[in-house]
Structure 1
Amino acid sequence: MSRMFQRISPWVVLPPVLFLSIAATFLLGLNRSDPDALPSTMIGRPAPVLQVDPLGDLPPATEDMLRSGDFKLVNFWASWCGPCRVEHPNLTELAANGMPVIGLNYKDNATNALAFLDELGNPYVGASSVDGRAALEWGVYGVPETFLLDADGTILMRAAGPVTQRIIREKLIPAMEAARQ
């Protein structure tokens, strides 16, 4: 019996072992409470320092905006981003209802970004341009991404993808209510 096992090449055993380990990894990933969620290590931490460039003549996003007032949103967006166009009316509505929205234009041409805001309106209390490094410090995967901050600049929630009515109803409002308690 031992001679039979001595003749089995490791190359025969390796593919099934690799397949089983990869399958187990996928199966464990399916057991997450929300498999569509992209986890963020930024939740509960202070917002990173803003390293921004001006965006045309718009009022710039500042550190004071992050760490003063009540709740506020920080929105990473770009004119070349289709989902950013989809979320824009919702951000405009939130801003019209008193929610400060800070816009950080991500890796975009300033002329195109300003034309985007001229066409769709500007919901931002402060808007600036950021490079990839600033987005990395925030843990941004891609645009659009939006962060909810409390009065002292602590990140309470992150929405990866467009801010839809569903995101507002199921994530943004509950996160603000939980923070108030």
Structure 2
Amino acid sequence: MAFKPLYFVPVAIFAALIGAVILPKLSDQAAGKDDSLPSVLLGKEAPAVTVTAFGAGPAPTDADLRQPGLKLVNFWASWCQPCRAEHPLLERLKAEGVTIYGINYKDKPEAGQKFLEEMGNPFAKIGADEGRMALDWGLYGVPETFVIDGEGKIVMRLAGPITEANLLSQLRPAMDQAR
């Protein structure tokens, strides 16, 4: 059987495409470049808070976001495993005196209440959102956390769960900026 170099052309093209897509990404990660999802809301006033009541307590309002001081807005759901993983860090931030407003996203109220009974409630106020507020805020999914300054402006958006690493490298610096 004779050697037919044309058989290797598709493999070579595929390898070149993989190299063109993956290698730049790997070099960006090695160089420590930011891989966060962009938000057009950074530096702008937070969109309207359009939630319904969740449980017996009051829901967050637009006025709450415009109060002086740092605050976080955290979108979460009981069915979200990363939300469960980040919850102890939200509890820690609450213990440090950080005001956190919770937005229960596309969840059954009884499931959300059970989640908070089991995990603890780090939220100063909670509202329920069926998706309208999430659209206005540009939500990719849950969990997502927004850092809001004393003028109601978005300082940072963290898509995905809060972890020890991004708490130190991203969230705390943004919180310091918002103060």
For normalisation by structure 1, the TM-score amounts to: 0.80
Gaps of 5+ in 1: 1-18
Name the SS of the counterpart of 1:51 in structure 2: coil
Does the CA contact (< 8 Å) of 2:69 and 2:178 recur in 1?
no
Name the SS of the counterpart of 1:93 in structure 2: helix
State how many pairs are aligned: 164
Alignment correspondent of 2:95: 96
Alignment correspondent of 1:129: 128
Structure 1 segment 62-81 matched on structure 2, within 5 A: 62-81=61-80
- CA spacing shift, 1:25–1:70, aligned 2, 3 Å: farther
- CA spacing shift, 1:50–1:28, aligned 2, 3 Å: farther
Give 1:65 deviation, angstroms.
1.4
Give 1:179 deviation, angstroms.
4.6
Give 1:176 deviation, angstroms.
3.0
- CA spacing shift, 1:63–1:28, aligned 2, 3 Å: farther
Give 1:69 deviation, angstroms.
2.5
Alignment correspondent of 2:156: 157
- CA spacing shift, 1:23–1:166, aligned 2, 3 Å: closer
Aligned partners of 2:45, 2:123: CA distance in 1, in Å? 21
Aligned-residue RMSD, C-alpha: 2.4
| 1:51-85 alpha-carbon deviations (Å, 9 max, x no partner) | 10001212211112111030110000000000000
Gaps of 5+ in 2: 1-13
- CA spacing shift, 1:162–1:69, aligned 2, 3 Å: same
Larger Rg: 1
- CA spacing shift, 1:101–1:179, aligned 2, 3 Å: closer
Over the matched positions of the two proteins, sequence identity in percent amounts to 46
For normalisation by structure 2, the TM-score amounts to: 0.81
Does the CA contact (< 8 Å) of 2:82 and 2:161 recur in 1?
yes
